[in-house]
Amino acid sequence: MTDTTPLAPDFVTRIRAVDGVTDVFSYPTGLARVPGVIAAATGAAEDRRTDLAITVRDGVPTLATRIAASAVDRAPDAARRVADALLDLTPPNVRIAIQVARIH
């Protein structure tokens, strides 16, 4: 089951405040990703949403989001800091998936 739900403002604020994160992008699935990928690539902020994909597999929920990382920081380090920030906001059984969509 996949549900794309808007991120709560505290999630967006928390993600954007993470050192090395320059933007947060939508995380839809399938063909719905195409407009978001194009908007992220072109920087067309008005054409994209900030979403969190929520999936449940084998009874375990996963929260997924996409970020842009700063070119002056290591992208894996920025993604790890985002995951840590989200883990602080979620119950212990929730998995976190971070995708680096862009580095700039």
Domain span at 92: 2-103
pLDDT value of position 4 = 47
Read off the CATH number of the domain in which 82 is found.
Answer: 3.30.70
- Distance from the Cα of residue 71 to its chain's centroid: 18
Per-residue pLDDT tens listing for the chain (104 residues): 444 444 455 777 888 899 999 988 876 555 455 555 555 555 555 545 556 677 888 988 888 889 999 999 999 999 999 999 999 888 888 899 999 989 98
pLDDT value of position 81 = 96
Q: Which of 32, 71, 62, 73 is nearest to 49 (CA)?
A: 32
Q: How many domains does the chain have?
A: 1
pLDDT value of position 9 = 54
**14, burial (CB in 10 Å: exposed 0-12, middle 13-18, buried 19+):** middle
- pLDDT tens per residue across span 76-88: 999 999 999 999 8
pLDDT value of position 27 = 67
pLDDT value of position 91 = 87
Taking the complete model, does pTM exceed 0.75, yes or no?
Answer: no
Handedness of CA 78, 82, 45, 4 (dihedral sign): positive
Instruction: Say if residues 2 and 54 touch (Cβ distance below 8 Å).
Output: yes
